[in-house]
Amino acid sequence: MFKHILVPVDGSDLAERAVETSLELAKRLGARITAFVAEPMPPLPAMGATPASYAREADTHLARTEAHAWTVLGRFGNRAAEVGVGFEGKFVRSEAVDQAIVDAAEELGCDLIVMVTHGRGTFGELLFGSHTKNVLARSKLPLLVLR
């Protein structure tokens, strides 16, 4: 049935549900998992910021978010090893996180995406958007959504 599952994660407590559910599903199906973290580029400089100060802030942002991403992927990889599921971690930078998820699933040959929705409601979606909703609209792959 499903042999390669993409699991976008962000390190949140809610994303842990996707980790555990995808591991259980992969173990039962004999599938492998690619955990995926997409982080945006640093925000634009504040008014009055000097090029040097922006460069320092951007470098700090890049280092911090990349370290966080690899920490999240490492924890997931450790859990996968504990339960005997094949695992790969992938990290990218993208302003369009939802499109990055869709692109990764296609490029990696995944046949299922497992992700969580933060359930912010209509107002929250207006403010923050909904990656899950956008992935559902853009991907041709089956999507298992957890809440």
- Summarised one tens digit per residue, pLDDT across range 35-92 is 999 998 877 777 777 888 778 888 888 999 999 999 999 999 999 999 999 999 999 9
Judge whether 70 lies within some domain.
Answer: yes
* Residue-number span of the structural domain to which 139 is assigned: 9-38+49-82+99-146
Domain count, the chain: 1
Judge whether 28 lies within some domain.
Answer: yes
Q: What is the pLDDT of residues 30-45, one digit of tens each?
A: 999 999 999 988 777 7
Look up the pTM and report it: 0.87
CATH number of the CATH domain containing 114: 3.40.50.620
- Give the span between the Cα atoms of 139 and 6, in whole angstroms: 12
Judge whether 31 lies within some domain.
Answer: yes
Judge whether 93 lies within some domain.
Answer: no
Nearest alpha carbon to residue 105 among 119, 116, 115, 93:
115
Do the beta carbons of residue 49 and residue 20 sit within 8 Å?
no
